[in-house]
Amino acid sequence: MKEFKVLFVVFIGLIITIGCKEQKTKQDVSNTVETKLSEEQLYRPNFHFTPKANWMNDPNGMFFYNGYYHLYFQYYPDGNVWGPMHWGHAISTDMVTWVEKPIALYPDEKGYIFSGSAVVDADNTSGFGKGGKIPTIAMFTYHNMDKEKNGDVNFQSQAIAYSLDEGLTWEKYADNPVIKNPNIKDFRDPKVVWDEVNEKWIMVLAAGQEIMFYSSKNLKDWELLSNFGENIGSHDGVWECPDLFAMQVEGTDEVKWVLIVSVGKGGYNMGSATQYFVGDFDGKNFTIDPDFKNELDTNNASWIDYGKDNYAGVTWSNIPDTDGRKLFIGWMSNWQYATKVPTEKWRSSMTVARELKLTKTNNKYQLKSVPVKEISNYISKTVKKNSINIEKGKQTLLTNKKLIDFKSLDIQFTIKNLKEDTYTFCFDNKSGDAIKFGLNNNEQFFFIDRMVSGNVSFSEEFAPKISKAPFTTTENELEVRLLLDKTSIEIFYNNGETVMTEIFFPKNPIEAFSVQSENFNIEIENLIINELNFN
């Protein structure tokens, strides 16, 4: 645990006009150009995993074993755009700080190593275990470029590899592939789960715009069980990176199955996004719950995160029952612009690891997500304020760099007595770059606005307009939690009921946090600003 300081700060007199609203004059801006910060200093996140160098996309093969959380990832070690895929590897004892390890899986003559999963085969059902060593089995997609270039459709197949040293080194199975391609063009991203009830391995696979369910007793021989996905969910893009797991509905004995499906484009705010379905799985078929079906939005979908930068996320396997959490991580980017984001040395980071929770309120199932609790072990300083009254129409500073180091923050507050008004929160810097977010309670939506957040010109699809999420609660107050880490904001409203994750690239570090309402005076209660320290 880091040193823990609590500051109580008087906010009177902090009302100033800042760059969020008013553009600074040319003179102001030119005066602020000082020593140029390196890409590392300005853009490398402190607590979101990034590879030391080069390209990364989806999280893969996550499992927990002997005190370590393993995270593999789609990795191209020879360039900063997508290329021949490997599985990179990182480990962590708390899912917050990561140590990068040597590459785990290299492409070979059968193809590139696309996304997949890993399980700990404690009972040695696969027979790969030797000398009492418990094997870990990874299942991934081989993507054969030659076949693809040849115009064949059957260029993706499923394969396995095993590790006898807890995931550090891997041996590919000699009889790969274990599932050949049945003439389906997009046929990938196997996620294996242990079905306790039916005592067998279940695997979900994205196949075109459907999910295919398979089962196996030994992780080598797989039988097709069923398909799911026709006429349900968003179908604007190819389906990718599924996950399936059982969850207890919070506060009840009810168990439901959750199916996660990423969709390449057609998210709520366009581009890549991840949808989920709540239903039942009988060991063969997944059926969507009728109550859940009624809740789908106009895209016929339900989204795990409404921001533009949480894709291809799945859960960790082998979390001990004594822990019992469903732990999730996503890729914090979007295929619309991932290869163009303005970092050279590395490209992309992961989201913060999140705990998923399933709730049912007024017949409405919801998959909520909150940052893993381990993040609070890194709090190095806290600024608190019980109650702040904000005068309408005035940009009001909540804190600035004199009080807090803005590199990594975990902020919480409550808005009481919600008014029919727009609440705009703003992080900004001396160049006038601003990342804004909040609630439009006239039109009932949350938003993130990164249109003037710094470097936005690298892609027309990065910030053409604000991103939105529906605000549906009937409560009169709103709880807000957010994480800021140099180039990303992750906002969790009402304990993760609605989540928005987005990245941004300011020209200078963020140094102030402020708020403004338009037509009503507003109250912010229980503001807690935690500075996080990872040194």
Residue 203 in contact with ligand FRU, rule: CB under 6 A: no
Q: In what order do the strands lie in the sheet with 445-449?
A: 396-400, 512-517, 422-428, 434-440, 445-449, 467-470
Cβ 475 to ligand FRU shortest distance, Å: 36
Residue 141 in contact with ligand FRU, rule: CB under 6 A: yes
Catalytic, 58? Answer: yes
Cβ 308 to ligand FRU shortest distance, Å: 14
Q: Could you say which DSSP state residue 338 is in?
A: G
Cβ 10 to ligand FRU shortest distance, Å: 48
Question: How many residues belong to the site for ligand FRU (CB under 6 A)?
Answer: 12
Q: What is the CA radius of gyration of the chain?
A: 23
Cβ 495 to ligand FRU shortest distance, Å: 28
Catalytic entry in 28, 58, 94, 309: 58
Q: In what order do the strands lie in the sheet with 99-105?
A: 99-105, 86-92, 68-76, 54-65, 346-347
Residues of span 111-140 touching ligand FRU by CB under 6 A: 114-115
Q: Provide the 10 A C-beta neighbour count for residue 508.
A: 18
The first and second tokens of residue 83, run together, are 């290329």
Nearer to ligand FRU, 268 or 492 (CB): 268
Residue 210 in contact with ligand FRU, rule: CB under 6 A: no
CB 460 within 8 A of CB 467: no
Residue 74 in contact with ligand FRU, rule: CB under 6 A: yes
Place of tokens 């705010």: 269
Burial 276-296, CB ≥16 within 10 A → b, else e: bbbbebeeeebebbeebeeeb
Place of tokens 């809740």: 295
Which is it for the CA torsion 41, 34, 502, 326, positive or negative? positive
Contacting residue, 240, 428, 485, 502, with ligand FRU by CB under 6 A: 240
The first and second tokens of residue 209, run together, are 């715009």
| Contacts of 459 by beta carbon, 8 Å cutoff, 6+ apart | 336, 337, 340, 341
266: helix, coil or strand?
coil
Contacting residue, 62, 137, 241, 372, with ligand FRU by CB under 6 A: 241
Cβ 144 to ligand FRU shortest distance, Å: 13
The number of residues making up the chain comes to 535
Residue 508 in contact with ligand FRU, rule: CB under 6 A: no
Contacting residue, 18, 42, 55, 58, with ligand FRU by CB under 6 A: 58
What is the C-alpha to C-alpha distance for residues 479 and 475, in angstroms, rounded to an integer? 10
421: helix, coil or strand?
coil
The first and second tokens of residue 437, run together, are 């977010």
What is the C-alpha to C-alpha distance for residues 243 and 245, in angstroms, rounded to an integer? 7
Which is it for the CA torsion 371, 496, 333, 148, positive or negative? positive
CA distances in angstroms from 476 to 354, 414, 418, 420, listed in the order given: 27, 11, 5, 11
Nearer to ligand FRU, 139 or 411 (CB): 139
Residue 188 in contact with ligand FRU, rule: CB under 6 A: yes
Q: Could you say which DSSP state residue 374 is in?
A: G
Residues of span 429-488 touching ligand FRU by CB under 6 A: none
Cβ 168 to ligand FRU shortest distance, Å: 22
Nearer to ligand FRU, 374 or 461 (CB): 461
CA distances in angstroms from 166 to 60, 106, 203, listed in the order given: 15, 18, 21
Cβ 141 to ligand FRU shortest distance, Å: 6
Residue 502 in contact with ligand FRU, rule: CB under 6 A: no
Nearer to ligand FRU, 136 or 141 (CB): 141
CB 88 within 8 A of CB 72: yes
Binding mask 381-400 for ligand FRU (x = CB under 6 A): --------------------
Nearer to ligand FRU, 113 or 375 (CB): 113
Residue 85 in contact with ligand FRU, rule: CB under 6 A: yes
Residue 261 in contact with ligand FRU, rule: CB under 6 A: no
Cβ 518 to ligand FRU shortest distance, Å: 39
Residue 189 in contact with ligand FRU, rule: CB under 6 A: yes
Contacting residue, 57, 269, 275, 399, with ligand FRU by CB under 6 A: 57
Residue 312 in contact with ligand FRU, rule: CB under 6 A: yes
Catalytic residues: 58
The contact set with ligand FRU (CB under 6 A) reads: 57-58, 74, 85, 114-115, 141, 188-189, 240-241, 312
